[in-house]
Structure 1
């Protein structure tokens, strides 16, 4: 999916991913080697990752060492303020209200009723991914939740067109936490990147200083493995 057309991003479609890291330079080395990304500076001190010249992700320095080292998914919206109000009404929380990100768009950080963190993106000049569903780019995001009924209700109401509309082809699913992780793992989103050769990808993660958190397992959307980078940010490799 080489082109980045705004019409592809119905409200509730995963449209961007970013990593909050202690060391952005180390992140560039790790992901540049793993996925073949190149990088360019962006507003507010972030670095944009490119795959074959098209934008695919961002890396940013954690402003506070107490914050988690994580990958965060952003969902598209035409009106971040209105969506924040609906999130509150549905039992979620707004961690950071919509703020401009240069002239590219506006972003907000929110949680669902169980505390799983995700972001909203109201694109202006940049609607979202320039490439996805290709090796080294975003492929899927899975919500791991303890209360699947609450999640079904919350996201089904919030993102109905993207999940259930006539043209829906969602890149978003949900599973109970205990399907892959220990029961004490908090609810969270797990970003998946496409891998052409999963065993080779896992070997490269290890060679670069990361580790395999959950070995390859079968899902309804492909074969996945959960890994961490060399700074502890979890993500998944996915072979479809």
Structure 2
């Protein structure tokens, strides 16, 4: 398995109060199975391939949240650039056995992300397939500083995209520019990896969008609307403008090469909401996944809606961690390899 490209998202994990409850929730939702790691975390596998990890929070003050790691060829140099560009280093480069080296940082707006310099462990063994990672984007109130930060530190090239498709709820869903992933080779990267170690160590089918169905899927969405006043606000009241996608250095900027994006936290969001990265997982059926989330004790913070790349929803697990799901359209599947 080749290493991930420089500054490509290569891993995600969730920090949760109750690890066993997290395993039950995501095992039911995505069909993941789990194997223990070295410490209070569990590696998640989809179809026998690594897709993510769940970690038990060691400090109750830590947020219950999903986080993303970006691949780097030189973690020490990247950490130095983060400081020079106005970011904050939270965890200095920390070896994770022979698996690699990790670090954790925050951008100038306060959004936290991880870095991973691969050793024996490269990162995901499966992505852009149902039940695995397919997209990430940062939510911030300081777009100018944050845009400059990622362009300087990671070399990302930004492309500003427009508002929602006609008919998409401006208050309830992401706008027009949603997930466009870099074209990749067909299939997941596969290689046997050691039992120990991973980016989380030591730290922190076919089917096009269908009409809304009057079944459990849609009832889940209806329930979420009725309960909307009690949600955290994550994923709701999104801005219809100020959406930018990131393409890696050396590529043609635009949605077809994008590996992530940036959105703006407007005044419509609660003032206390911090900047954060939203993690998106591919699914076969967005409506069904949303309804299943509610039945498992979670919530729908943004009910399913259409975007140019498929059908998307923003969800919350039964412990409060927010994530998104995307059912790719035929066009979106052609671009991303799904």
TM-score, normalised to structure 2, is 0.66
Whole-angstrom distance in 2 between the partners of 1:204 and 1:165: 41
Instruction: Please say if residues 49 and 125 of structure 2, whose CA atoms lie closer than 8 Å, have aligned partners that are also in contact.
Output: yes
Give 1:148's aligned residue. Answer: 143
Give 2:2's aligned residue. Answer: 5
Whole-angstrom distance in 1 between the partners of 2:39 and 2:100: 13
Distance 1:46 1:67, change over 3 A: same
Distance 1:180 1:58, change over 3 A: farther
Partner SS for 1:178: coil
Whole-angstrom distance in 2 between the partners of 1:88 and 1:122: 18
Residue 181 of structure 1: CA displacement? 4.2
Runs of 4+ in 1 over 6 A off after TM superposition: none
Whole-angstrom distance in 2 between the partners of 1:175 and 1:239: 20
Partner SS for 1:83: helix
From 220, 233, 250, give the equivalent of 1:165: 250
Instruction: Please say if residues 13 and 170 of structure 1, whose CA atoms lie closer than 8 Å, have aligned partners that are also in contact.
Output: no
From 188, 192, 198, give the equivalent of 2:276: 188
From 200, 203, 208, give the equivalent of 2:296: 208
Residue 179 of structure 1: CA displacement? 9.5
From 86, 91, 101, give the equivalent of 1:91: 86
Whole-angstrom distance in 2 between the partners of 1:147 and 1:42: 37
Deviates more, 1:170-179 or 1:100-109: 170-179
Deviates more, 1:129-138 or 1:156-165: 156-165
From 111, 114, 130, give the equivalent of 2:109: 114
* Structure 2 spans left out of the alignment, 5+ residues: 157-246, 329-338
Give 1:177's aligned residue. Answer: 265
Which string of whole-angstrom CA distances, capped at 9 and with x for unpartnered residues, describes residues 193-231 of structure 1? 011110000001011111011223445654321111111
Whole-angstrom distance in 1 between the partners of 2:311 and 2:261: 14
Instruction: Please say if residues 290 and 304 of structure 2, whose CA atoms lie closer than 8 Å, have aligned partners that are also in contact.
Output: no
Residue 239 of structure 1: CA displacement? 2.0
From 123, 127, 130, give the equivalent of 1:135: 130
* Structure 1 spans left out of the alignment, 5+ residues: none
Partner SS for 2:281: strand
Give 2:13's aligned residue. Answer: 18
Distance 1:142 1:219, change over 3 A: farther
Partner SS for 2:266: helix
Max radius of gyration: which structure?
2
Q: Which has the higher strand share?
A: 1
Distance 1:223 1:171, change over 3 A: farther
Which string of whole-angstrom CA distances, capped at 9 and with x for unpartnered residues, describes residues 160-190 of structure 1? 2662423773321111123984454221100
Give 1:101's aligned residue. Answer: 96
Residue 37 of structure 1: CA displacement? 0.6
Residue 50 of structure 1: CA displacement? 0.5
Deviates more, 1:96-105 or 1:137-146: 96-105
Whole-angstrom distance in 2 between the partners of 1:218 and 1:159: 30
